Structure 1
Amino acid sequence: MSLLLGWRGCVRHARQLRLGHYGVPVPAASLYRALRPPEPPPALRLRHPAYQFSAKTNSKNVLSAIVSKIRLMNKKYERFLERTFPRFYQLYSTFLKGFQVFISEFKEIRRIKANMSHKNIQVHQLPYREMERLRQFRRDLIKAIPVGILSIPPFANYLVFLLMYLFPRQLLIRHFWTPKQHAEFLDTYHNMRKEAYTEVIDGLIQMSQLVADPKLQKQMLDLCKKVQKGVHPDISELKAVRMLFVAHPFGIQQLKVQQVKILSRVLFLTPRLPSALLRYRLRSHLSELYQLDQAMLKLGTGELSDNEVQVACYTRGLNSVHLHPLACRTWLNQWLALSSSLNDSETSLLAHSMVLLSTNFTFSSNH
């Protein structure tokens, strides 16, 4: 027993070494670990780059497959509609394309607005196409807002869809018209404003009696009577009386309220407003038209497509829906020849020229 105890004591004594100045005992196992040479680091396991993106690639493949499947199903559905319900398919495809064009145009308007804000420029400083796009979009938005408000109540959208189907001209914007509807509705709108053309000329004849200068009075009366007889006037005849449209009696601020209402119908503006607001709207629209003309002159009519020329002529009073593109360009050049010679204070002549230059225009008479 004593030998066993002595052996254990020796072992304990051997395991307790004294290190340092203070002789702190250190266990032998700890000393062994401290003095053991370091093991080499484990070899790095590199993965092939393809494996790093495998999950992402797989998700993209799945998403692409789903999108392809949806497109295939959509094409089958469209073919089914085209075969079974051709009339409904035409409305469906027109609405779908119109919605895509509207979204694209909305993005373009946002880009134009952001560019204006970034460069700190006004609308009249924009290029012609951007100015025209803003003008068209504003008119479309004014027409679409009431329809959007009607769709807010629960289940009211079903009624709105029915109304849009029954009254597409009144409720739908141009993006959702079929090509046939587009030509038909533009004809309808022009016939509505054309009803005011005779009243505009009659009003000019009545106001000509107030002109003090006998020579100018005669020139104005001759111009009106020439149009009444079915003759297309020359641009020089309009330029000869331009000074009458600055102040009394033909200036915008001096026009009779009845004449302002008639001209508002020519520009597709509602005449059912207070006279002050009516005059302000007419003046602002004519000023915008004048600025568009200046921007178009900078661009040049040769840079415009046939469709752009047709739209420009229609906006300025001519029914260009069924006119040959060359006839539209001829008329537009005549209009710009007049507009370029005017000042901003003479825009009243532009409003009356929408009637004077478009009433009897034929391509043969000016070619």
Structure 2
Amino acid sequence: MASRILFHYMNCEKKLLFSTAFSKAYYFKPICVCCASNTSSSRRSIYKTEEVKKFRFFVLQHYLDYLKSYNAILEKKFPGAMRVYRVFMDGMKEFFNDLKLYIKLVHNLNIAGKSLETFNVREVELYEQMPKDMRRIAPLLILSILPLTHYVLFPIAYYFPRHLLCRHFWNLQQKSEFSIILLRKRLVHNKPVFRHLQLQLPKLKENALHKKWSVVLGLVGSGLQPQPEQIVACKDLFVNGPYHLMYLSGNHVVSIFCFIILPLFC
């Protein structure tokens, strides 16, 4: 009886050990297989992403090289068209960069409450010049919106840059030539304006500023530049005196108009 119980106990223990070993083998084996498969798949995915990146970089590099060579081919076959294209592309970039800065300056003056004294020389020049450039280039930009008009307008503007384009589209030689033309147009009206100022000098003999103003006119007539303080000291002559707009002769007004206004549209 005891032997049968011992034998039964031994059989149960063997079954328990076998089932435990089988369960361990059953549970641990799939886990190891999954880990191995995950590791191999992750390695394979990393390898694939690196391959894809290399392939993309290879394609992009060859595409950029193709574009560079294509631009060179276009410049050889169509040099005039590429020159016009480059002039307008570079000009538009420079124009819009200055336009952004001009809007910022206007915002600082009107909203932020700053004054022109806080601006540097380039900002002051841009604040004065940009409205003239906008008036000059506005007709071309507005008309180019219409379909197929840019095929006609841009070549015409390229051959008449002084009248149809602004300084952003000019090269260095054109800027120099056009500035000389503008200066000559201004100098034509300098002498008439100066003569009108001299004609009013005898009427100022009883004025306290007669001596100071005669010194200023004498310096200008001899080709010298008077100091700004000397001119500012005589500003009352232009406020209440004979040089006020209400007292100027018709020829004097026309000369001033031609000296200041007309060159802006040339």
TM-score category by the smaller chain?
A: 0.5 to 0.7
Q: Does 1:234 align with 2:231?
A: no
Deviation at 1:171, TM superposition (A): 0.6
The structure-2 alpha-carbon separation of the partners of 1:255 and 1:91, relative to structure 1 and needing over 3 Å to count, comes to: farther
List aligned pairs for 1:342-353, cutoff 5 A: none
In the superposition, relative to structure 1, how do residues 89 and 65 fare at CA in structure 2: closer, same or farther (>3 Å)? closer
Query: What's the counterpart of residue 152 of structure 1?
Result: 145
What residue number does 2:183 align with? 190
1:69 equivalent in structure 2: 66
Write out per-residue CA displacement over residues 213-272 of structure 1, whole angstroms, 9 at most, x where no aligned residue.
4452354345435534x4324326535534434443435x75648555544443446899
Indicate how the Cα distance of structure 1 residues 39 and 67 shifts in structure 2: closer, same or farther if over 3 A, else same: same
**1:164–1:171 CA contact under 8 A, matched in 2:** yes
In structure 2, how many angstroms separate the alpha carbons of the residues matched to 1:181 and 1:53?
53
Partner of 2:136: 143
CA shift in 2, pair 1:182/1:120, >3 Å: same
Distance of 2:165 and 2:63 partners within structure 1: 33
Q: Distance in 2 between matches of 1:80 and 1:91?
A: 14
Is 1:98 aligned with 2:95?
A: no
Match of 1:177 among 163, 170, 174: 170
Deviation at 1:106, TM superposition (A): 4.6
Report if aligned partners of 2:182, 2:263 keep a CA contact under 8 Å in 1: no
**What 5-or-longer segments of structure 1 have no aligned partner?**
1-35, 273-367
Letter in structure 1 aligned against 2:224 = H
Q: Distance in 1 between matches of 2:96 and 2:60?
A: 24
Change (3 A) 1:102 1:65: farther
Measured in 2, the distance between the counterparts of 1:267 and 1:257 equals 17
Give the TM-score taking structure 1 as reference length: 0.49
Change (3 A) 1:202 1:137: same
What is the TM-score when the length of structure 2 is the normalising length?
0.64
SS at match of 1:195: helix
The answer to whether the aligner puts 1:131 opposite 2:124 as a matched pair is yes
1:197 positional shift: 0.9
Amino acid at match of 2:120: P
Indicate the residue corresponding to 2:6 in structure 1: none
- Deviations 1:91-111, CA, capped at 9 Å, x for gaps: 55544543443354455556x
Equivalent runs, 1:37-48 vs 2, <5 Å: 39-40=27-28, 41=31, 42-43=34-35, 44-45=38-39, 46-47=42-43
Measured in 2, the distance between the counterparts of 1:264 and 1:64 equals: 59
Match of 2:10 in 1: none
**Does the 8 Å CA contact 1:262/1:271 hold for their aligned counterparts?**
no
Letter aligned with residue 142 of structure 1 = R
Do 2:189 and 2:258's aligned partners in 1 also have CA atoms closer than 8 Å? yes
Larger radius of gyration: 2
Q: Hey, what's the Cα distance between the residues in 1 that align with 2:69 and 2:164?
A: 33
Give the C-alpha shift of residue 137 in structure 1.
3.1
CA contact (8 A) 1:200 1:263 kept: yes
Distance 1:260 1:51 in 2: 81
Q: Quote the offset at 1:170 in angstroms.
A: 0.7
Please tell me the residue identity of whatever aligns with 2:132: R
Q: Distance in 2 between matches of 1:226 and 1:90?
A: 49
C-alpha spacing 1:120/1:173, structure 2 compared with 1 (3 Å): same
Deviation, 1:143, is 1.2
The Cα shift of 1:145 comes to 0.6
1:79 Cα deviation from its structure 2 partner? 4.2
Say which of 184, 195, 205 aligns to 1:202: 195
Find the partner of 2:114 among 107, 113, 122: 122
The 3 A distance-change label for structure 1 pair 131 and 63 is farther
CA RMSD of aligned residues (A): 4.1
Contact 1:265–1:271 under 8 Å retained in 2: no
1:309-348 correspondence runs (5 A): none
Is structure 2 residue 213 aligned with structure 1 residue 220?
yes
Distance apart, 1:158 and its partner CA: 3.5
Mapped partners of 2:75, 2:264: distance in 1: 44
Query: Partners of 1:271 and 1:77 in 2: how far apart?
Result: 38
Unpaired stretches in structure 2, ≥5 consecutive residues: 1-22
Instruction: Specify the code of the residue in structure 2 equivalent to 1:180.
Output: Q
Please give the alpha-carbon distance, in whole angstroms, between the structure 1 residues aligned to 2:257 and 2:57. Answer: 57
232, 236, 243: which one aligns with 1:250: 243
Distance 1:102 1:195, change over 3 A: same
